[in-house]
Chains A and B, each alone.
Chain A
Amino acid sequence: MMHHFEHAFCSYKYCLTKQNIKFSLDPIWFVLHSKLSIALDINSTCAKVAFVIISKSMNSPTPQFVPSRLSIYEPIHQIGIWGENFKRNGNPNTSTSLIVEVDNKLENESETTSHEMLAPTNNYEQEASKPIDKIQRRLAQNREAARKSRLRKKAYVQQLENSRLKLIQLEQELQRATQQGLYMGGVLEGSHIGFSGTVNSGIAAFEMEYGRWVDVQHRQICELRTALNAHISDIELRILVKSGMGHYFELFRMKSTVAKADVFYVISGVWKTSAERFFSWIGGFRPSELLKVLVPQLDPLTEQQILEVCNLKQSCQQAEDALSQGLEKLQETVSSTVAGGPVAEVSYIPQVATAMEKLEALVSFVNQADHLRQETLQQMSRILTTRQAARGLLALGEYFHRLRALSTLWVTRPPEPSLP
């Protein structure tokens, strides 16, 4: 409705200018004009009312001017008539009551500018141009605001589109990464492809977590190194030792979770680098080997400590042997189960199903092996002083770091020269 009035006013102004009418004749005009300019911006209903009131007072044929049904072209004609009426009936006296009425209708929405316009002056001419300009300016502002709003909307929609595309890209990347993770396992095991979604997600989640674990490990090693060189207090060192130990325990927890998803994945050490895998024992490092690496780095040790470390080495060895033998027994059991019944027969489902059940014991083996590693680390921390423990953790972390570097170097080694 609003833009109709806009048009009405523009065209009216045009008409009047063309006819060179000084429309300063009637106070009503000013009131109407200023109020309506505000009304245009704010409330079309009041403007409608104002129009009806004014037109009725003119005793002019009103039917032509129907505010509710203004089309773009009508007002030009109607306002032309209206202008004629003004010419004919310029009667200030009849207008006072109307001013009041119009005022009342529009009072709520009046701005400061309107008050200035209320006082009728004799010099309407100059001030007549101001309201027109005001309307012009306001219309221009409206157009500008609308244009800006359209541009903003366009920009926002563009942003949404971009975000949507990015999301699709990320999803595809994730899909690809999961597939690759699967393929890695597939290369060595040949059994991961075709697994259900939950297994994939367990392994994918572990691989992501493990990547982060290695990064944190590296950071902790650097911190330990700096701390030891800086000769910080034992209390502070104790905190570093505790967090270092806790970090290894965190890895054991992660492994326990993924073992439930796929125990073969853990036990074959797919997630490790090739050099680490070479030393792997039931999905991780062998505790007795660990001690062999650590002890030379811990000199000097007291007599008591040497004895305790020796005992620990022996206990580790015994526990490892027990676990290894248990694992052998499991292999025998599974093997005999799978081979059970005449091998010449085609049907093998019951044997394989039974073997599956027995393989569940593998999860216990992984857990027991990690438990042994954890206990070994804790016993070492009991035997050693804080400073020695810090050095031990540093040595351990550095050792694995070098194994990983060895793996990387191995992968990038130059190809074998071709035979002559």
Chain B
Amino acid sequence: MQQAIPYKSWPLPCIDATSHRARSTTTLGHNGRGKDVLNIVSENAVIVLARKGCCMSHVVRRLLLTLGVNPAVHEIDEEDEAGVLNELGTICKGTENNKMVQLPAVFIGGRLFGGLDKVMATHISGDLIPVLKDAGALWL
């Protein structure tokens, strides 16, 4: 397995809070509140939001790790799930994301990227690495 390169936080146009703190830990713990989740999303180049104990989030993480990305993982408790998803639905995103956010959800560069489906499809078509590089999650 490749050594994960420590990443830098990325200043974003649509979210106010920016932080230049470099994080070495990968799991941020379960802080279920919507607003906090928004902050976390914006603070990390790549973050995976998932339910506790979800095996699919494990798949996403392993895939990203093999690419050389060390994604943050935020686990959501069952009771907070609805609230978090609502908050996420209000974030400014691309026009395609009209549906409810599905878990596990991958955020790249503060924007919702998609679920495992999207990640797989993008990786097979060879577009995932450029996206990660653009977001500053990958340096080669």
Chain A residues near B (Cβ < 8 Å): 308, 311-312, 315-316, 318-319, 321-323, 325-327, 329-330, 333, 361, 364-365, 368, 371-372, 375-376, 379, 382
Contact = CB atoms under 8 A, between A and B. Distances in A.
B58 A315 contact: no
Nearest to B123: A315
Q: How large is the interface on B (under 10, 10 to 19, 20 to 34, 35 or more residues)?
A: 10 to 19
Given A312-B124, A375-B125, A318 B55 contact: no
B46 to A, nearest CB: 15
B117 A321 contact: no
B63 interface: yes
Nearest to B116: A368
Main secondary structure of the interface of A (DSSP, over half): helix
A318 B124 CA distance: 10
Nearest to A368: B116
A327 to B, nearest CB: 8
Contact of B56 (A312, A321, A326): A326
B8 interface: no
A76 B123 CA distance: 105
10 contacts: A312-B126, A315-B126, A318-B66, A318-B67, A321-B62, A322-B59, A326-B55, A327-B55, A375-B125, A379-B126
A345 to B, nearest CB: 24
B62 A364 contact: no
Contacts of B116: 368
Contact of B60 (A321, A322, A330): A322
Contact of B117 (A371, A376, A382): A371
Contacts, number: 63
B121 A375 contact: yes
Given A368-B116, A371-B117, A325 B58 contact: yes
A2 to B, nearest CB: 79
Given A325-B62, A326-B62, A371-B117, A318 B56 contact: no
Given A318-B67, A322-B62, A325-B62, A372 B55 contact: no
A329 B117 CA distance: 19
A368 B59 contact: yes
A284 to B, nearest CB: 15
B140 to A, nearest CB: 14
Given A326-B55, A326-B56, A333-B53, A376 B124 contact: yes
Q: 3 nearest interchain CB pairs?
A: A326-B59, A322-B63, A375-B124
B77 to A, nearest CB: 16
A318 B63 CA distance: 7
A333 B54 CA distance: 10
A311 B120 contact: no
B66 to A, nearest CB: 5
Contacts of B63: 318-319, 322
